[in-house]
Amino acid sequence: MNPFAYQKVFTGVTFAVAAVMGLSRLSSPSDTARQTGSRPLVPLLCCLGLILWMGLRPISDAFGDTVNYALEYATLDARLIPADWYSEWLWQWIMNLSKVAGLNVHAFFTLVAAGYVLSAFWALCRFMPRDPVLGTVFLLNSLMFFSFGVNGLRNGLACHLVLLAMSFLLDDKWGPGALVCIMALGIHRSTLLPIATILVGRFVFRDIRYLLLFWVASIFLSLTVGPAIENLFAAIGFDDRMTQYVTLSDLSEFSQTGFRWDFLLYSAAPVAMAWYVCIHKGLQDNWYNVICTAYLLCNAFWIMVIRSAFSNRFAYLSWFLYPLVIAYPLVNMPLREDQDRLTGLILLAYGGFSAFMWFFFW
């Protein structure tokens, strides 16, 4: 198969599933929809098939940094090299141990894909035990799910580990939660931001109204003093890639830089959902408050550095929460009497937007 067709095949299949499920929600009674959605075996099997689909992909520029990771893995000396504790030590261990074990590059990518997919699936089963099928369909229909599984490997894997860690921390399982947070930091240090915002939501902020105002304010700050904020974050040394992307002088290789209004509009949908659930409906759910807090703070950070090269890498520090912000209240909170109909409409729009973007825009 043409490597450039992989994304569209994946998008077409996932949207077809979303369309079938969305239409069934529009026509089926609530009890039927929830009973059929309570079995995790089918989505688990789908996840296993997806792991093979992603892990055994060709080494091609169609998958972005796949080529760079494959080259790094191919040239890695097959000895256990001591990890650099000041860098992403766990990622180094994964690569070194895989090479020592004699895994070829496709087996290595399959191992990474397994961590990427299964950590998110496990987290969704914990967040939405009543309907893990729906959560999985929302996850797979996310605009950047496939891309960050084959392009931003470390970023995607680390963020999904944070998703799993959050499910433990919100359940007061501090030991497993802390361990998974350390693993995420050992793969990509930028996950310090979402981890910190989860703790802020857990112990500091309880009122989403102020965070919604802060998110709106971040847009004005970015438009007025954005470059100064970017230089401040670069000077702090939050992430070495931040310094590289913010201070990059030659932007000839980037076709889209500057203030990304399209990305901002895409990011606004979970904000609208948080407003609808927490403010308009006045519903309170401790878990959902933390989820919204993490998304709003991380997304506000990205908005303030939106002009940076590869700003989508920073956007994913909030976008990995995108399907959870949308799907969690549809499963766990009483929004309205015709909730299945609402769920079906949102799922159709959610999957349809991703399909439209991949087939007609990118």
Number of domains in the chain: 1
The pair of structure tokens assigned to 217 is: 């304010």
pLDDT of residue 311: 66
pTM, 2 dp = 0.90
pLDDT of residue 261: 79
| Distance, CA of 362 to CA of 358 (rounded, Å) | 5
pLDDT of residue 214: 95
Pairs from 79-87 (Cβ < 8 Å, separation ≥ 24): 87/189
For CA atoms 163, 241, 8, 108, the dihedral sign is: negative
| Distance, CA of 192 to CA of 354 (rounded, Å) | 28
For CA atoms 333, 339, 50, 69, the dihedral sign is: negative
Cβ neighbours around 45 below 10 Å, total? 10
pLDDT of residue 250: 41
Residue 184 scores a pLDDT above 70: yes
Confidence of residue 258 (pLDDT cuts 50, 70, 90): low
Helices (H), 141-280: 145-150, 153-170, 174-187, 192-203, 208-236, 240-247, 261-274
Mean pLDDT, the chain, integer: 87
Residue 346 scores a pLDDT above 90: yes
Residue 128 scores a pLDDT above 80: yes
Residue by residue, DSSP assigns 123-146 as HHHHH-TT-HHHHHHHHHTSTTHH
Confidence of residue 252 (pLDDT cuts 50, 70, 90): very low
Q: What percent of the chain has pLDDT over 70?
A: 84
| Distance, CA of 121 to CA of 332 (rounded, Å) | 17
- Count helices and strands (H / E) in the chain: 18, 0
Contact 302, 317 (CB under 8 A): yes
Single out the residue of 213, 122, 243, 218 nearest to residue 171, CA to CA. 122
Average pLDDT over residues 244-250: 46
**Mapping DSSP to helix (H, G, I), strand (E, B) and coil, where does residue 97 land?**
helix
Average pLDDT over residues 175-186: 97
pLDDT of residue 33: 43
Residue by residue, DSSP assigns 193-207 as HHHHHHHHHHHT---
> Which string of b and e fits 102-134 if b means at least 16 CB within 10 Å?
ebebeebbbbbbbbbbbbbbbbbbbbbeebbbb
pLDDT of residue 150: 95
pLDDT of 216-236, one tens digit each?
A: 999 999 888 767 777 766 655
pLDDT of 280-315, one tens digit each?
A: 999 989 999 999 999 999 999 999 888 776 566 788
pLDDT of residue 227: 73
Its domain, for residue 74, covers 3-361
